[in-house]
Amino acid sequence: MSKYFVLVLLLFVGCKEEKSNPTESSSPTAVYLEYQNGFVADSVVAKVNNENIGPLYCNTDISIGHAANMHSHLTKGTYNLQIEIKNEGVIFDTVFSIEKQSLYIGVNYDRTSKAIHLIYSNEQFVYK
């Protein structure tokens, strides 16, 4: 066997194509904001990294399964989320991360304390 054949064989074996893991994709992932409870005739604006993902006029009542939602598609990473209830003068800022799968963020508003509470889930919320 010639030494050139051995060299070519070693190069071929050493240069295997690396296959990407499909679970570690940088393709966009759906992020859903589910306005679940406490919103009464409210004008709500949500921003992700200062980009508006949609204004919404919102009435919700989780006890009767009435929720509103909006969504965006984002890649894996960490994001700033701002939720503003314009007519109440309430602004809420937080940070969230996307790993591999869809992310559902339940948004609840306590009108008495003017506090926004979030619930994070990788599963879709079910309303009855």
Range of the domain at 42: 27-121
Whichever domain contains 112, its CATH number is 2.60.40.2890
Which helix (H) or strand (E) segment holds residue 66: the answer is: none
Q: Of 33, 41, 57, 24, whose CA–CA distance to 116 is shortest? A: 33
* Domain membership flag for residue 70: yes
* Domain tally, the chain: 1
Q: Of 73, 58, 55, 71, whose CA–CA distance to 108 is shortest? A: 58
The confidence score (pLDDT) of residue 13 equals 38
The Cα 93–Cα 78 span in angstroms is 14
CB-based contact 71:31 (threshold 8 Å): yes
* Domain membership flag for residue 18: no
The confidence score (pLDDT) of residue 22 equals 38
* Domain membership flag for residue 58: yes
What pTM did the predictor assign? Answer: 0.75
* Domain membership flag for residue 4: no
The Cα 125–Cα 52 span in angstroms is 23
The confidence score (pLDDT) of residue 9 equals 35
Point out the residues of the chain with pLDDT beneath 50.
Answer: 1-24
